[in-house]
Homo-oligomer: A and B are copies of this chain.
Amino acid sequence: MNGNRFDEASRHCVIYAVSDSAGETGEAVVRAAVAQFTNARTEIRRRPFVTDKSHIAAIVVEARDEQAIILYTLVLPHLRETMAQHALRDGVLAIDALGPLLDGLEWRTGIKPEYRPGLNHQLDADYFRRVEAVEFAVKHDDAKDHSGILKADIVLIGVSRTSKTPLSMYLAHRKFKVANVPLVPELKLPDELLRVPRSRIVGLTIGKEDLNQIRKERLKALGLPDTAPYAAPDRIEQELTYAREVMDRLGCVVIDVSRRAVEETASLIMEHVRNAGVQPF
Contacts and interface: CB of A to CB of B under 8 A. Distances in A.
Interface of A: 5-7, 10-13, 15, 21-25, 28-40, 42, 46, 48-49, 67, 69, 71, 73, 75, 93, 95, 97-98, 100-102, 104-105, 107-111, 113-116, 118-123, 127, 130-132, 134-135, 138, 141, 163, 165-166, 169, 172-173, 221, 259, 261-264, 266-267, 271
B169 A11 contact: no
Contacts of A13: 105, 108-109
Contacts of A12: 109
Q: Report how many copies the assembly holds.
A: 2
Given A97-B29, A116-B36, A163-B131, A105 B42 contact: yes
A267 B121 CA distance: 12
Contacts of A95: 100-101, 104
Most chain-B CB neighbours within 10 Å: which of A33, A109, A110? A33
A100 to B, nearest CB: 5
Contacts of A108: 5, 10, 13, 67, 69, 93
B261 A118 contact: yes
